[in-house]
Structure 1
Protein backbone atom coordinates (compact mmCIF):
# COMPACT_ATOMS: atom_id res chain seq x y z
CA UNK A 1 0.00 0.00 0.00
CA UNK A 2 1.53 3.30 -1.11
CA UNK A 3 1.64 6.09 1.46
CA UNK A 4 1.23 9.74 0.45
CA UNK A 5 4.60 11.47 0.21
CA UNK A 6 5.03 15.25 0.41
CA UNK A 7 8.55 16.56 -0.26
CA UNK A 8 9.68 20.16 -0.15
CA UNK A 9 12.29 21.39 -2.62
CA UNK A 10 13.93 24.52 -1.24
CA UNK A 11 16.06 25.04 -4.35
CA UNK A 12 18.70 27.75 -3.69
CA UNK A 13 17.01 29.40 -0.73
CA UNK A 14 17.76 29.73 2.99
CA UNK A 15 21.03 29.78 4.89
CA UNK A 16 21.80 27.43 7.78
CA UNK A 17 20.35 29.62 10.52
CA UNK A 18 17.17 30.07 8.50
CA UNK A 19 16.98 26.31 7.97
CA UNK A 20 17.25 25.68 11.71
CA UNK A 21 14.54 28.27 12.36
CA UNK A 22 12.28 26.60 9.78
CA UNK A 23 12.79 23.20 11.39
CA UNK A 24 11.86 24.51 14.82
CA UNK A 25 8.72 26.25 13.57
CA UNK A 26 7.66 23.32 11.39
CA UNK A 27 8.15 20.70 14.09
CA UNK A 28 6.01 22.77 16.45
CA UNK A 29 3.16 22.31 13.96
CA UNK A 30 3.94 18.80 12.76
CA UNK A 31 2.37 15.57 13.98
CA UNK A 32 3.28 12.16 12.60
CA UNK A 33 0.63 10.65 10.34
CA UNK A 34 0.28 8.29 7.40
CA UNK A 35 1.83 11.00 5.21
CA UNK A 36 5.58 10.71 4.62
CA UNK A 37 7.36 14.07 4.69
CA UNK A 38 10.80 15.19 3.51
CA UNK A 39 12.66 18.45 3.05
CA UNK A 40 15.20 18.64 0.21
CA UNK A 41 17.62 21.42 1.05
CA UNK A 42 20.89 22.88 -0.28
CA UNK A 43 24.03 20.92 0.65
CA UNK A 44 25.18 23.44 3.26
CA UNK A 45 22.03 22.94 5.34
CA UNK A 46 21.80 19.16 5.34
CA UNK A 47 23.82 18.39 8.47
CA UNK A 48 22.01 21.07 10.50
CA UNK A 49 18.61 19.82 9.36
CA UNK A 50 19.51 16.20 10.10
CA UNK A 51 20.22 17.23 13.68
CA UNK A 52 17.17 19.48 13.92
CA UNK A 53 14.68 16.92 12.57
CA UNK A 54 16.16 14.18 14.76
CA UNK A 55 13.64 11.42 15.42
CA UNK A 56 10.63 13.52 14.40
CA UNK A 57 9.94 11.40 11.34
CA UNK A 58 10.63 14.24 8.90
CA UNK A 59 13.10 12.90 6.33
CA UNK A 60 16.00 14.68 4.69
CA UNK A 61 16.69 15.07 0.99
CA UNK A 62 19.43 16.53 -1.20
CA UNK A 63 18.75 18.26 -4.50
CA UNK A 64 21.50 16.72 -6.60
CA UNK A 65 24.57 14.45 -6.48
CA UNK A 66 27.34 13.21 -8.77
CA UNK A 67 27.31 9.74 -10.28
CA UNK A 68 30.97 9.01 -9.52
CA UNK A 69 32.13 7.68 -6.18
CA UNK A 70 34.87 10.30 -5.92
CA UNK A 71 37.31 12.16 -8.13
CA UNK A 72 38.42 15.44 -9.63
CA UNK A 73 34.95 16.95 -9.96
CA UNK A 74 35.31 20.41 -8.44
CA UNK A 75 32.13 21.66 -6.84
CA UNK A 76 30.34 18.30 -6.87
CA UNK A 77 28.98 16.16 -4.02
CA UNK A 78 29.06 12.36 -3.98
CA UNK A 79 26.41 9.93 -2.80
CA UNK A 80 28.82 8.73 -0.13
CA UNK A 81 29.05 12.24 1.30
CA UNK A 82 25.26 12.41 1.47
CA UNK A 83 25.07 8.96 3.04
CA UNK A 84 27.49 10.02 5.78
CA UNK A 85 25.19 12.91 6.74
CA UNK A 86 22.20 10.58 6.83
CA UNK A 87 20.35 11.84 3.76
CA UNK A 88 17.27 9.76 2.92
CA UNK A 89 16.33 11.09 -0.53
CA UNK A 90 17.92 12.89 -3.46
CA UNK A 91 16.14 14.76 -6.24
CA UNK A 92 17.58 13.63 -9.56
CA UNK A 93 16.87 15.01 -13.04
CA UNK A 94 14.95 18.12 -12.01
CA UNK A 95 14.11 20.24 -15.05
CA UNK A 96 16.28 23.07 -13.74
CA UNK A 97 19.25 20.69 -13.64
CA UNK A 98 18.45 19.55 -17.18
CA UNK A 99 17.97 23.12 -18.44
CA UNK A 100 20.82 24.97 -16.73
CA UNK A 101 23.41 22.29 -15.92
CA UNK A 102 23.33 19.98 -18.94
CA UNK A 103 21.70 17.04 -17.12
CA UNK A 104 20.90 14.28 -19.61
CA UNK A 105 18.91 11.06 -19.52
CA UNK A 106 22.25 9.21 -19.36
CA UNK A 107 23.55 11.10 -16.33
CA UNK A 108 20.17 10.76 -14.64
CA UNK A 109 20.38 6.99 -15.03
CA UNK A 110 23.93 6.93 -13.64
CA UNK A 111 22.86 9.02 -10.64
CA UNK A 112 19.91 6.76 -9.90
CA UNK A 113 22.18 3.72 -9.86
CA UNK A 114 24.71 5.42 -7.59
CA UNK A 115 22.06 6.69 -5.18
CA UNK A 116 20.69 3.18 -4.71
CA UNK A 117 24.22 1.87 -4.08
CA UNK A 118 24.38 4.17 -1.06
CA UNK A 119 20.89 3.50 0.27
CA UNK A 120 19.53 6.86 -0.88
CA UNK A 121 16.08 6.87 -2.47
CA UNK A 122 15.99 8.91 -5.68
CA UNK A 123 13.16 11.29 -6.48
CA UNK A 124 13.26 11.08 -10.27
CA UNK A 125 11.83 14.12 -12.05
CA UNK A 126 10.28 13.84 -15.50
CA UNK A 127 8.16 16.27 -17.47
CA UNK A 128 7.57 18.10 -20.72
CA UNK A 129 8.02 21.73 -21.77
CA UNK A 130 5.08 23.83 -23.00
CA UNK A 131 5.88 23.38 -26.69
CA UNK A 132 5.84 19.61 -26.29
CA UNK A 133 2.57 19.72 -24.36
CA UNK A 134 0.93 21.93 -26.98
CA UNK A 135 2.18 19.66 -29.76
CA UNK A 136 0.61 16.64 -28.08
CA UNK A 137 4.00 15.06 -27.44
CA UNK A 138 3.92 15.05 -23.62
CA UNK A 139 3.37 11.26 -23.33
CA UNK A 140 6.23 10.45 -25.70
CA UNK A 141 8.60 12.81 -23.91
CA UNK A 142 7.77 11.53 -20.44
CA UNK A 143 7.90 7.90 -21.58
CA UNK A 144 11.35 8.40 -23.10
CA UNK A 145 12.65 10.15 -19.96
CA UNK A 146 11.26 7.45 -17.68
CA UNK A 147 12.51 4.50 -19.72
CA UNK A 148 16.01 5.98 -20.04
CA UNK A 149 16.19 6.81 -16.33
CA UNK A 150 15.26 3.34 -15.05
CA UNK A 151 17.35 1.37 -17.52
CA UNK A 152 19.14 -1.44 -15.74
CA UNK A 153 17.47 -0.91 -12.37
CA UNK A 154 16.31 -4.01 -10.51
CA UNK A 155 12.67 -4.65 -9.56
CA UNK A 156 13.53 -4.10 -5.88
CA UNK A 157 15.10 -0.73 -6.70
CA UNK A 158 12.07 0.28 -8.75
CA UNK A 159 9.73 -0.57 -5.88
CA UNK A 160 11.41 2.03 -3.67
CA UNK A 161 11.84 4.66 -6.40
CA UNK A 162 9.88 7.92 -6.21
CA UNK A 163 8.91 9.63 -9.46
CA UNK A 164 7.83 13.26 -9.61
CA UNK A 165 5.89 14.31 -12.69
CA UNK A 166 6.72 17.98 -13.13
CA UNK A 167 5.43 19.66 -16.28
CA UNK A 168 8.17 22.22 -16.91
CA UNK A 169 5.63 24.86 -17.89
CA UNK A 170 4.08 24.68 -14.40
CA UNK A 171 7.28 25.08 -12.33
CA UNK A 172 7.61 28.47 -10.68
CA UNK A 173 5.18 30.03 -13.12
CA UNK A 174 2.08 30.11 -10.96
CA UNK A 175 0.46 28.04 -13.68
CA UNK A 176 -0.61 24.56 -12.61
CA UNK A 177 -1.61 21.54 -14.62
CA UNK A 178 -5.23 20.74 -13.91
CA UNK A 179 -5.68 17.88 -11.44
CA UNK A 180 -7.05 15.85 -14.33
CA UNK A 181 -3.98 16.52 -16.49
CA UNK A 182 -1.64 15.65 -13.63
CA UNK A 183 -3.62 12.53 -12.75
CA UNK A 184 -3.63 11.34 -16.35
CA UNK A 185 0.14 11.69 -16.70
CA UNK A 186 0.91 10.06 -13.34
CA UNK A 187 -1.24 7.12 -14.40
CA UNK A 188 0.57 7.01 -17.72
CA UNK A 189 3.97 6.89 -15.97
CA UNK A 190 2.78 3.92 -13.93
CA UNK A 191 1.71 2.20 -17.16
CA UNK A 192 5.20 2.79 -18.62
CA UNK A 193 6.69 1.08 -15.55
CA UNK A 194 4.12 -1.72 -15.76
CA UNK A 195 5.16 -2.46 -19.34
CA UNK A 196 8.76 -2.89 -18.18
CA UNK A 197 8.44 -4.43 -14.71
CA UNK A 198 4.91 -5.75 -14.49
CA UNK A 199 1.84 -4.71 -12.53
CA UNK A 200 2.95 -5.89 -9.10
CA UNK A 201 6.16 -3.82 -9.16
CA UNK A 202 4.67 -0.72 -10.77
CA UNK A 203 1.89 -0.55 -8.19
CA UNK A 204 4.44 0.02 -5.42
CA UNK A 205 6.07 3.09 -6.99
CA UNK A 206 5.15 6.42 -5.40
CA UNK A 207 4.38 8.99 -8.10
CA UNK A 208 4.18 12.64 -7.10
CA UNK A 209 3.00 15.72 -8.91
CA UNK A 210 5.10 18.87 -8.82
CA UNK A 211 4.48 22.29 -10.30
CA UNK A 212 3.10 25.27 -8.36
CA UNK A 213 1.57 23.11 -5.62
CA UNK A 214 0.12 25.43 -2.96
CA UNK A 215 -1.98 25.09 0.21
CA UNK A 216 -5.14 26.03 -1.67
CA UNK A 217 -4.80 23.39 -4.42
CA UNK A 218 -3.05 20.57 -2.55
CA UNK A 219 -6.20 18.78 -1.42
CA UNK A 220 -7.68 18.66 -4.91
CA UNK A 221 -4.41 17.38 -6.35
CA UNK A 222 -3.90 14.78 -3.64
CA UNK A 223 -7.44 13.46 -4.00
CA UNK A 224 -6.73 12.32 -7.55
CA UNK A 225 -6.53 8.53 -7.82
CA UNK A 226 -3.15 8.26 -9.57
CA UNK A 227 -1.31 10.95 -7.56
CA UNK A 228 0.54 9.71 -4.47
CA UNK A 229 2.16 12.93 -3.35
CA UNK A 230 3.63 16.30 -4.21
CA UNK A 231 7.05 17.80 -4.80
CA UNK A 232 6.56 21.31 -3.47
CA UNK A 233 8.72 24.29 -4.41
CA UNK A 234 8.06 27.80 -3.14
CA UNK A 235 5.26 26.80 -0.78
CA UNK A 236 7.68 24.58 1.17
CA UNK A 237 9.75 27.58 2.30
CA UNK A 238 7.21 28.74 4.90
CA UNK A 239 6.38 26.32 7.74
CA UNK A 240 2.72 27.38 7.89
CA UNK A 241 2.25 26.83 4.14
CA UNK A 242 4.13 23.54 4.04
CA UNK A 243 2.24 22.07 6.99
CA UNK A 244 -1.09 22.89 5.30
CA UNK A 245 0.03 20.90 2.28
CA UNK A 246 1.28 18.03 4.44
CA UNK A 247 -2.10 18.00 6.23
CA UNK A 248 -4.08 18.19 2.99
Structure 2
Protein backbone atom coordinates (compact mmCIF):
# COMPACT_ATOMS: atom_id res chain seq x y z
CA UNK A 1 0.00 0.00 0.00
CA UNK A 2 1.57 3.24 -1.13
CA UNK A 3 0.74 6.41 0.70
CA UNK A 4 -1.20 7.86 -2.21
CA UNK A 5 -3.67 5.03 -2.92
CA UNK A 6 -7.32 5.38 -1.90
CA UNK A 7 -10.80 4.07 -2.63
CA UNK A 8 -13.56 6.50 -1.64
CA UNK A 9 -17.26 5.71 -1.76
CA UNK A 10 -19.68 8.58 -2.33
CA UNK A 11 -23.06 7.44 -1.04
CA UNK A 12 -24.73 10.67 -2.24
CA UNK A 13 -28.33 10.96 -0.96
CA UNK A 14 -28.73 7.24 -0.32
CA UNK A 15 -29.13 5.04 2.79
CA UNK A 16 -30.89 5.86 6.03
CA UNK A 17 -28.77 6.00 9.19
CA UNK A 18 -29.80 2.43 10.00
CA UNK A 19 -28.92 1.20 6.50
CA UNK A 20 -25.67 3.15 6.42
CA UNK A 21 -24.44 1.75 9.72
CA UNK A 22 -25.13 -1.79 8.52
CA UNK A 23 -23.48 -1.12 5.15
CA UNK A 24 -20.27 0.28 6.66
CA UNK A 25 -20.04 -2.57 9.18
CA UNK A 26 -20.65 -5.21 6.50
CA UNK A 27 -18.06 -3.70 4.11
CA UNK A 28 -15.43 -3.58 6.85
CA UNK A 29 -16.22 -7.13 7.93
CA UNK A 30 -15.90 -8.42 4.36
CA UNK A 31 -12.84 -6.38 3.35
CA UNK A 32 -10.88 -6.70 6.57
CA UNK A 33 -7.72 -4.63 6.89
CA UNK A 34 -7.75 -2.89 3.51
CA UNK A 35 -4.81 -2.70 1.06
CA UNK A 36 -5.47 1.03 0.69
CA UNK A 37 -7.15 3.93 2.48
CA UNK A 38 -10.93 3.48 2.34
CA UNK A 39 -13.17 6.52 2.75
CA UNK A 40 -16.94 6.50 3.27
CA UNK A 41 -18.53 9.71 1.92
CA UNK A 42 -21.84 9.62 3.76
CA UNK A 43 -24.93 11.83 4.15
CA UNK A 44 -24.44 14.48 6.84
CA UNK A 45 -26.89 12.87 9.23
CA UNK A 46 -24.63 9.78 9.37
CA UNK A 47 -21.21 11.37 9.77
CA UNK A 48 -20.83 10.85 13.50
CA UNK A 49 -22.22 7.30 13.58
CA UNK A 50 -20.01 6.16 10.69
CA UNK A 51 -17.00 7.89 12.28
CA UNK A 52 -17.59 5.83 15.43
CA UNK A 53 -17.28 2.70 13.26
CA UNK A 54 -14.26 3.75 11.18
CA UNK A 55 -12.38 4.92 14.28
CA UNK A 56 -12.23 1.30 15.41
CA UNK A 57 -10.70 -0.04 12.19
CA UNK A 58 -7.32 0.83 10.72
CA UNK A 59 -7.41 2.15 7.16
CA UNK A 60 -11.03 3.39 7.19
CA UNK A 61 -12.10 7.05 7.20
CA UNK A 62 -15.21 9.18 6.83
CA UNK A 63 -15.88 12.10 4.48
CA UNK A 64 -18.55 14.77 4.34
CA UNK A 65 -20.07 15.27 0.90
CA UNK A 66 -19.98 19.07 1.09
CA UNK A 67 -19.62 22.01 3.47
CA UNK A 68 -20.44 25.71 3.53
CA UNK A 69 -17.79 28.33 2.75
CA UNK A 70 -18.58 30.58 5.73
CA UNK A 71 -17.42 29.98 9.29
CA UNK A 72 -20.87 30.45 10.84
CA UNK A 73 -24.02 32.54 10.47
CA UNK A 74 -27.61 32.52 9.27
CA UNK A 75 -27.25 29.73 6.70
CA UNK A 76 -30.07 27.39 7.56
CA UNK A 77 -29.34 23.76 6.81
CA UNK A 78 -25.61 24.23 6.22
CA UNK A 79 -22.52 22.83 7.99
CA UNK A 80 -19.22 24.66 8.50
CA UNK A 81 -15.70 23.28 8.35
CA UNK A 82 -15.32 23.72 12.11
CA UNK A 83 -18.48 21.69 12.75
CA UNK A 84 -17.22 18.82 10.59
CA UNK A 85 -13.77 18.89 12.16
CA UNK A 86 -15.16 18.91 15.69
CA UNK A 87 -17.32 15.90 14.79
CA UNK A 88 -14.18 13.97 13.87
CA UNK A 89 -14.72 13.99 10.10
CA UNK A 90 -11.51 13.17 8.18
CA UNK A 91 -12.20 14.27 4.59
CA UNK A 92 -14.64 16.52 2.73
CA UNK A 93 -15.65 16.14 -0.92
CA UNK A 94 -15.63 19.54 -2.64
CA UNK A 95 -16.54 20.61 -6.17
CA UNK A 96 -18.43 17.44 -7.09
CA UNK A 97 -20.05 17.68 -10.52
CA UNK A 98 -23.51 17.39 -8.96
CA UNK A 99 -22.77 20.39 -6.70
CA UNK A 100 -21.64 22.32 -9.77
CA UNK A 101 -24.61 21.25 -11.90
CA UNK A 102 -27.48 21.47 -9.40
CA UNK A 103 -26.24 24.12 -6.96
CA UNK A 104 -24.26 26.44 -9.23
CA UNK A 105 -20.91 26.00 -7.51
CA UNK A 106 -17.80 27.16 -9.38
CA UNK A 107 -14.09 26.90 -8.71
CA UNK A 108 -13.70 30.31 -7.11
CA UNK A 109 -16.23 29.21 -4.47
CA UNK A 110 -14.63 25.79 -4.20
CA UNK A 111 -11.25 27.47 -3.67
CA UNK A 112 -12.67 29.29 -0.63
CA UNK A 113 -14.10 26.01 0.68
CA UNK A 114 -10.77 24.22 0.23
CA UNK A 115 -8.99 26.88 2.25
CA UNK A 116 -11.62 26.74 4.99
CA UNK A 117 -11.39 22.93 5.09
CA UNK A 118 -7.59 22.95 5.34
CA UNK A 119 -7.60 25.63 8.04
CA UNK A 120 -9.98 23.46 10.07
CA UNK A 121 -7.81 20.37 9.70
CA UNK A 122 -10.01 18.62 7.13
CA UNK A 123 -8.55 16.90 4.06
CA UNK A 124 -10.27 18.02 0.83
CA UNK A 125 -11.15 15.62 -1.98
CA UNK A 126 -11.33 18.10 -4.86
CA UNK A 127 -13.41 17.02 -7.86
CA UNK A 128 -12.83 18.22 -11.41
CA UNK A 129 -13.89 16.99 -14.85
CA UNK A 130 -15.49 17.79 -18.16
CA UNK A 131 -18.88 17.28 -19.80
CA UNK A 132 -19.39 15.23 -22.97
CA UNK A 133 -19.49 18.17 -25.39
CA UNK A 134 -16.15 19.41 -24.03
CA UNK A 135 -14.59 15.98 -24.43
CA UNK A 136 -15.96 15.59 -27.98
CA UNK A 137 -14.61 19.03 -28.93
CA UNK A 138 -11.16 18.03 -27.67
CA UNK A 139 -11.12 20.76 -25.01
CA UNK A 140 -11.03 18.49 -21.98
CA UNK A 141 -7.48 19.32 -20.93
CA UNK A 142 -8.12 23.05 -21.28
CA UNK A 143 -11.27 22.93 -19.13
CA UNK A 144 -9.84 20.65 -16.44
CA UNK A 145 -6.66 22.72 -16.44
CA UNK A 146 -8.68 25.87 -15.73
CA UNK A 147 -10.55 24.10 -12.92
CA UNK A 148 -7.29 22.96 -11.30
CA UNK A 149 -5.73 26.39 -11.66
CA UNK A 150 -8.69 28.29 -10.18
CA UNK A 151 -9.28 25.87 -7.30
CA UNK A 152 -5.76 24.89 -6.27
CA UNK A 153 -3.02 27.18 -7.56
CA UNK A 154 -3.51 29.77 -4.80
CA UNK A 155 -2.61 27.16 -2.19
CA UNK A 156 0.87 26.99 -0.73
CA UNK A 157 2.88 23.74 -1.03
CA UNK A 158 2.15 22.66 2.55
CA UNK A 159 -1.58 22.97 1.85
CA UNK A 160 -1.40 21.19 -1.49
CA UNK A 161 0.25 18.20 0.16
CA UNK A 162 -3.05 17.54 1.95
CA UNK A 163 -5.36 17.73 -1.10
CA UNK A 164 -6.74 14.67 -2.89
CA UNK A 165 -7.81 15.26 -6.51
CA UNK A 166 -10.65 13.27 -8.07
CA UNK A 167 -10.97 13.40 -11.85
CA UNK A 168 -14.56 12.69 -12.78
CA UNK A 169 -15.48 12.80 -16.47
CA UNK A 170 -19.06 14.04 -16.10
CA UNK A 171 -20.07 12.06 -19.19
CA UNK A 172 -19.17 8.85 -17.34
CA UNK A 173 -20.98 9.45 -14.03
CA UNK A 174 -24.05 7.31 -13.55
CA UNK A 175 -24.23 6.68 -17.30
CA UNK A 176 -22.65 3.24 -17.33
CA UNK A 177 -20.05 4.66 -19.71
CA UNK A 178 -16.49 4.55 -18.39
CA UNK A 179 -13.44 6.32 -19.68
CA UNK A 180 -11.01 3.76 -21.06
CA UNK A 181 -8.01 3.08 -18.85
CA UNK A 182 -5.93 4.92 -21.45
CA UNK A 183 -8.23 7.98 -21.35
CA UNK A 184 -8.11 7.97 -17.55
CA UNK A 185 -4.32 7.67 -17.51
CA UNK A 186 -3.94 10.46 -20.07
CA UNK A 187 -5.95 12.90 -17.96
CA UNK A 188 -4.43 11.81 -14.65
CA UNK A 189 -0.95 12.29 -16.10
CA UNK A 190 -1.96 15.74 -17.35
CA UNK A 191 -3.27 16.68 -13.88
CA UNK A 192 -0.15 15.40 -12.14
CA UNK A 193 2.03 17.41 -14.54
CA UNK A 194 -0.01 20.54 -13.75
CA UNK A 195 0.59 19.96 -10.04
CA UNK A 196 4.29 19.42 -10.75
CA UNK A 197 4.57 22.64 -12.74
CA UNK A 198 2.99 24.65 -9.92
CA UNK A 199 4.19 22.89 -6.77
CA UNK A 200 7.15 20.74 -7.84
CA UNK A 201 7.73 17.06 -8.58
CA UNK A 202 7.89 15.92 -4.96
CA UNK A 203 4.37 17.11 -4.18
CA UNK A 204 3.04 15.97 -7.56
CA UNK A 205 4.44 12.47 -7.05
CA UNK A 206 2.78 12.18 -3.64
CA UNK A 207 -0.60 13.66 -4.67
CA UNK A 208 -3.47 11.16 -4.70
CA UNK A 209 -5.44 11.41 -7.97
CA UNK A 210 -8.62 9.32 -8.05
CA UNK A 211 -10.75 8.35 -11.03
CA UNK A 212 -14.48 8.86 -10.59
CA UNK A 213 -16.79 7.69 -13.35
CA UNK A 214 -18.73 4.41 -13.21
CA UNK A 215 -16.02 2.42 -11.40
CA UNK A 216 -17.20 -1.19 -11.05
CA UNK A 217 -15.70 -4.50 -9.90
CA UNK A 218 -15.11 -5.56 -13.50
CA UNK A 219 -13.16 -2.45 -14.54
CA UNK A 220 -11.48 -1.38 -11.29
CA UNK A 221 -8.35 -3.49 -11.59
CA UNK A 222 -7.60 -2.30 -15.13
CA UNK A 223 -8.25 1.37 -14.25
CA UNK A 224 -6.23 1.19 -11.05
CA UNK A 225 -3.40 -0.49 -12.95
CA UNK A 226 -2.65 2.77 -14.75
CA UNK A 227 0.48 4.53 -13.47
CA UNK A 228 -1.21 7.77 -12.42
CA UNK A 229 -4.61 6.39 -11.32
CA UNK A 230 -4.29 6.05 -7.54
CA UNK A 231 -7.77 4.70 -6.87
CA UNK A 232 -11.40 5.65 -7.32
CA UNK A 233 -14.18 7.92 -6.16
CA UNK A 234 -16.97 5.39 -6.44
CA UNK A 235 -20.68 6.21 -6.64
CA UNK A 236 -23.33 3.53 -7.10
CA UNK A 237 -20.98 0.61 -6.65
CA UNK A 238 -20.09 1.82 -3.13
CA UNK A 239 -23.63 1.11 -1.95
CA UNK A 240 -23.28 -2.68 -1.80
CA UNK A 241 -20.80 -5.03 -0.19
CA UNK A 242 -20.60 -7.28 -3.26
CA UNK A 243 -19.59 -4.38 -5.50
CA UNK A 244 -17.48 -2.20 -3.21
CA UNK A 245 -15.30 -4.84 -1.55
CA UNK A 246 -13.85 -6.13 -4.86
CA UNK A 247 -13.04 -2.53 -5.81
CA UNK A 248 -11.24 -2.03 -2.49
CA UNK A 249 -9.27 -5.22 -3.08
CA UNK A 250 -8.52 -4.24 -6.69
CA UNK A 251 -6.52 -1.33 -5.36
- Normalising by structure 2, we get a TM-score of 0.96
Aligned to 2:134: 132
Instruction: Provide the secondary structure at the position in 2 that maps to 1:216.
Output: helix
1:109 aligns with 2:146: no
1:171 aligns with 2:195: no
Shift of 1:67: 1.2
Deviation by residue 1:92-148 (Cα, 9 ceiling, x = unmatched): 000000000010111110000000011111000000000000000000000000010
Aligned to 1:219: 221
Match of 2:61 among 59, 78, 82: 59
Aligned to 2:45: 44
Q: Which runs of 5+ in 1 are unaligned?
A: none
| Whole-Å separation in 2 of the counterparts to 1:226 and 1:47 | 33
Number of residue equivalences = 248
Aligned to 1:15: 16
| RMSD of equivalent CA atoms | 1.0
Aligned to 1:69: 71
Contact conserved, 1:155 with 1:201, CA < 8 A, in 2?
yes
| Whole-Å separation in 1 of the counterparts to 2:175 and 2:125 | 21
Q: Which runs of 5+ in 2 are unaligned?
A: none
Contact conserved, 1:160 with 1:204, CA < 8 A, in 2?
no
Aligned to 2:81: 79
Which aligned runs of 4 or more in structure 1 are off by greater than 4 angstroms? none
Contact conserved, 1:2 with 1:228, CA < 8 A, in 2?
no
Shift of 1:20: 1.0
Match of 2:202 among 193, 200, 203: 200
1:184 aligns with 2:186: yes
Deviation by residue 1:159-200 (Cα, 9 ceiling, x = unmatched): 121000000000000000001000100010011111111111
| Whole-Å separation in 2 of the counterparts to 1:15 and 1:245 | 23
Tell which deviates more after alignment, 18-27 or 5-14: 18-27
Deviation by residue 1:72-106 (Cα, 9 ceiling, x = unmatched): 11121101111111111110000000000010111
